[in-house]
Structure 1
Amino acid sequence: MRYLKVIAQDPLGTGAADSVLLRFHDNEQDWRAASEHELGQLRSFATTYLKCAWFNTAHGESRHMRIFALNPRGDGTPESVRLHFHDGDKLAYKAAVHDLDNDGGFEVSLVSDIDNDGHVNRTDRNRLTALVKQFLKLGWI
């Protein structure tokens, strides 16, 4: 499965992440770092992700998010985009958007507390939408 793995880190121990690693995976073993062109497209994605407060202390990589699109019809438009927040091998929580009629708009959003503030609210939904839109701009379905 193809996905983008996002790893935020707090190397200075300030209590907030200030760096983001972006890795494109074709499967669990094969990955590549984002190219300069992709990094340019993903700057706002990384900024939005940092607001999720899902990060590692120092240079750890166990906490990360995987974002991927599903296109079972094979027509190039995703029917679903999913975000999986991992803590090591454990799936801590997830969020998703679904296009029920394959018109390019997402009619259903399943969101959890993406920003880890203890509340599931409009801010979480807005962050989910922003992350999905920015990811889809890459055309990496």
Structure 2
Amino acid sequence: MIAQAPIGQGQDGIVRYRFSESDHLQREATDAELRWLKTFGKTYLKCAWYNEGQGEERHLRIFSENPGGDGTPETVRLHFHAGQTIAYKAAARDLDNDGDFELILSSDVDNDGRADRTDRRRVASLVREFLKLGW
């Protein structure tokens, strides 16, 4: 995901979605998916990980891992990038593979100067919405 800064007072930022696998762009999001991603985008914008203008340096890469191979994600990772560098990370882990993420690891994902419960809620919300896409 790439977020671009709001242009002025009262305007929301713009979020663009690209789906890739193994760092290869598969496709852009469809209109139907964009409607579904509305909640996801609103949560991401609260993370204040914006680009000025049309820039794409700051972006979020979110992906799931299924080392057990049973088709259910045991970990969902969020990498907040500044160019090729990962500026900070967050993750949600399903410790007993029951579909619930018992452990949320996050730093200050909303850039308010504190790593707290709000950051963990934002990560949990991003993970929940991401998994609705089936990726």
Same fold by TM (over 0.5)? yes
Q: Are the equivalent residues in 1 in contact too, given 2:18–2:25 (CA < 8 A)?
A: no
Cα deviation, 1:82-120, whole Å, max 9, x if unaligned, reads: 000000111100000111111111111111101000001
What is the aligned partner in structure 2 of residue 21 from structure 1? 16
Q: Which runs of 5+ in 1 are unaligned?
A: 1-5
Q: Which runs of 5+ in 2 are unaligned?
A: none
Higher relative contact order (Cα pairs below 8 Å, separated by 6+ residues):
1
Amino acid at match of 1:78: P
Separation (CA, whole Å) in 2 of partners of 1:31 and 1:85: 20
Q: TM-score by structure 1 length?
A: 0.89
Q: 1:93-112 to 2 correspondence within 5 Å? A: 93-112=88-107
What is the aligned partner in structure 2 of residue 115 from structure 1? 110
Worse-superposed segment, 58-67 or 24-33:
24-33
Q: 1:47-126 to 2 correspondence within 5 Å? A: 47-126=42-121
What is the aligned partner in structure 2 of residue 9 from structure 1? 4
Q: TM-score by structure 2 length?
A: 0.93
Separation (CA, whole Å) in 2 of partners of 1:30 and 1:44: 23
In structure 2, do the counterparts of structure 1 residues 26 and 88 end up closer, same or farther at CA, with 3 Å as the change threshold? same
Amino acid at match of 2:28: A
Aligned-pair identity (%): 57
The CA RMSD over aligned residues, in Å, is 1.6
Separation (CA, whole Å) in 1 of partners of 2:36 and 2:112: 27
Amino acid at match of 2:119: D
